[in-house]
Chains A and B, each alone.
Chain A
Amino acid sequence: NAGVTQTPKFRILKIGQSMTLQCTQDMNHNYMYWYRQDPGMGLKLIYYSVGAGITDKGEVPNGYNVSRSTTEDFPLRLELAAPSQTSVYFCASSYAALGRETQYFGPGTRLLVL
């Protein structure tokens, strides 16, 4: 099992550009999450999904969109990149709700918006 994989590892965007951060898990997990982590800070939940076709907002959803067409994939879309979106983005998955199952994190995508 590869676990949770994320691409790209690093990306530089210009203000106003768009991009999609990819996340794939091969553990047949129902729950998937997107977090951002600013330097020296904790993680903040952007969006999560409890299964294919179901997504919901987290703490900081503005400026982002997600979709969940399959169990395996949970891409995060940035439509109009802003410097405030410079961060490290982590995707995570779990089989069941948090507290009953461990949450597994991907290696992260480092995004710099200039």
Chain B
Amino acid sequence: NAGVMQNPRHLVRRRGQEARLRCSPMKGHSHVYWYRQLPEEGLKFMVYLQKENIIDESGMPKERFSAEFPKEGPSILRIQQVVRGDSAAYFCASSPQWTGSNSEQFFGPGTRLTVL
């Protein structure tokens, strides 16, 4: 029973390039969340998606960042024209179909982005 999968685990980009981070949720999970973690800090929420819908993007920077969760395939977090400040660990979490007001989120191993 595979958990949340993320790839790549490590990604190096030069300033101005694009970064694409992929996330495959746990089997049976239809909700995906992206978080960013800077060194020595907690996680910060970025975006919450269901299949083909963005539900909450209140934590996404207004420019250069976008996310999608298509009907088929993994969720993608895309960062255009990366800058050094984008260097961080990006974590994806998934949860099952919402059946109540609360739901646990299960995390992948993360993608560590380094911008040179």
Answer whether A and B are interacting partners: no
Q: Which residues of A approach B to under 8 Å, CB–CB?
A: none
Q: Which residues of B approach A to under 8 Å, CB–CB?
A: none
